[in-house]
Amino acid sequence: MGFTVGRLKVMSDFEATVRERALILTDGGIETRVMFETDIPLPPHVQVAALVTDPTGGPVLRRIYGSYIDAARSFGLPVIIGTPTFRANLNFVRQAGLGDAKAVQLLNADAAAMHREIRDGSNYGPVYVAGVIGPSGDAYLPEESLSARQAREYHGLQAGALARSGVDFLYAPTFPAVEEALGAAMAMGDTGLPYVVSFVLERDGRVLDGTPLHEAVERIDAAASPAPLFYSISCVHPSIAATALRDEAIFSDLVARRLKEFKANASPLSPEELVKLDHPEGDDPERFAAEMWEIHEDFGLRVLGGCCGTDDRHMRALADRMVDRR
């Protein structure tokens, strides 16, 4: 992976940090913080991506992402911040009435530019920018997923826009079906940037389409070239991830080698249940950090962060654990 200069393949700073087996903090919740900490309505369909250039929403996003960099700064950890582009793909852009391919390119370019500004203005490093690519349909409905062939073409538009906009790597979270994740992997690999594929897991260790995690990793590693830099679990509570991974058939040697990241929800409630609430719901920061550190100790995952229901307090508590026990 990395990028090519002449015939020489050059490893990116992010790849080097991962290969050094460093502990890396990631950002935490974004949408849930906008929902529960502000009175800003999330725009339909594309949601936070539409706030980037909004005169009210833009500063709020910058504050939220900046709080995660500050959490990492307090403990001297590398940190990843992901662009708010989970829904900045063609289907959702069209549903929002914003246009077609040019609108996708603009939304993603604006988001990446914001993240570069946040990183450069933080006077801290390393801060790595992940270009976030979400599924084409509902992240919890495998039946809405694309075939691998369709997905490679579909996600190529967004992957290319993010890669051209200066992100450090590409990150595809919460894909509900392995076939669409494979196509997205191919599209991300086509850009030349390192990339990561992330799944939601059921308690039995299966992706939402029913594929066991180790089979999902085998399928993508065999068919995508280059293969992902690593794999990730996202958008589930630590108790769900721990139950899934404790099955020896799931936590195979392959999974132990290739799975490096976990971005967890603060609550065991489903995302659909969480967004219906009028208040944040989930574990307090110390309990969250303890559960996350147990995941690290039991399974070796070392890129750790948050998803729905988490905020900078959760990331600070987690970072404290990561530093004290390194």
| pLDDT band at residue 248 using 50, 70 and 90 as cut-offs | low
Contact call for residues 160 and 133 (beta carbons, < 8 A): no
Quote the pLDDT of residue 247: 80
281 versus 217: the higher-pLDDT residue is 217
How high is the mean pLDDT of the chain? 92
Query: Model's pTM, two decimal places?
Result: 0.94
pLDDT band with cut points at 50, 70 and 90 for residue 325: low
12 band by pLDDT with thresholds 50, 70 and 90: confident
Name the architecture of domain 3-324. Alpha-Beta Barrel (3.20)
pLDDT for the residue numbered 178 = 98
Higher per-residue confidence, 311 vs 325 = 311
What are the counts of helices (DSSP H) followed by strands (DSSP E) for the chain? 13, 10
Q: Residue 176: is the preceding peptide bond cis (ω within 30°)?
A: no
151-186 per-position pLDDT tens digit:
999 999 999 999 999 999 999 999 999 999 999 999
Q: Where are the beta strands (DSSP E) in 17-119?
A: 24-26, 79-82
Q: At what angle do helices 238-245 and 285-299 cross, to 10 degrees?
A: 20
pLDDT computed for residue 7 by the predictor: 32
pLDDT category at 128 given cuts 50, 70, 90 is very high
Q: Read off the tokens for 120.
A: 């450069």
Distances (CA, A) of 282 to 72, 94, 219, 277, 307: 22, 34, 34, 12, 11
Q: 74-115, pLDDT tens digit by residue? A: 999 999 999 999 999 999 999 999 999 999 999 999 999 999
User: Cα angle vertex 99, ends 95, 101, to 5°?
Assistant: 105
Mean pLDDT in residue range 270-289: 77
3-state class (DSSP) for residue 142: helix
The rounded Cα 255 to chain-centroid distance in angstroms is 18
For the chain, the 3-state helix, strand and coil shares in percent, each to the nearest 5, are 50, 15, 35
